[in-house]
Structure 1
Amino acid sequence: MVLVWLSATHEKGPGLEEIFYIADRNSVDRAEELVRQFGMQAIDEAAARSRHYRELGNAIRFCEWRQIERFLSVLALDMAVGTVH
């Protein structure tokens, strides 16, 4: 898993920018809608959508859904990620 690899390579742990990138509010809104529709299966749905766009050759949508998948994975964690103030 990406989170485990990043934790092992950085002494202070991963920063959020190293785990996922959200370009705009629309991606957060899409993630929220997936959680409302699919609950904990939202991560799997985002992964399925990213695979779909990869198969179509749409790199932009693939990357967008892949980052939403990563964002949802971070939200599902039982620990703080990144800098805690």
Structure 2
Amino acid sequence: MDDFPYVADRTALNDAQVLILTFGRAAADEAVARADRSRDLGNHIHFCRWRQIERLVEWLSAGRADGTIH
């Protein structure tokens, strides 16, 4: 992944962590499912939020460091 994901707030990080701990490798798929469900309900705010969390899950699960390491 070339870009860092957008992190709106601490809750997004918490939700990404819960998905990773609960669903393992399928965490990003679960975030997509939640985004799709929100879209189907007409909730574009939660759709965008879950898509951002999907990208965050993928980034956190990449197993490598991006950017400067101190």
Q: TM-score, normalised by structure 2?
A: 0.84
- Other-structure match for 2:61: 76
Residue 78 and residue 50 in structure 1: after superposition, are their counterparts in 2 closer, same or farther (change >3 A)? Answer: same
Provide runs of 4+ in structure 1 moved above 6 Å. Answer: none
Structure 2: stretches of 5+ with no match in the other structure: none
- Structural mapping, 1:1-85, within 5 Å: 3=1, 14-16=2-4, 20-81=5-66, 83-85=67-69
Q: CA RMSD in A?
A: 1.4
Q: State the distance in 2 between where 1:39 and 1:79 align.
A: 17
Q: State the distance in 2 between where 1:25 and 1:47 align.
A: 20
- Across the two proteins, how many residue pairs are aligned to each other? 69
Residue 28 and residue 57 in structure 1: after superposition, are their counterparts in 2 closer, same or farther (change >3 A)? Answer: same
| Structure 1 residue 51 displacement after superposition | 0.8
User: Which of these two proteins has the greater Rg computed from alpha carbons?
Assistant: 1
| Structure 1 residue 23 displacement after superposition | 0.6
Structure 1: stretches of 5+ with no match in the other structure: 4-13
What is the aligned-residue identity percentage? 42
Q: TM-score, normalised by structure 1?
A: 0.71
Higher relative contact order (Cα pairs below 8 Å, separated by 6+ residues): 2
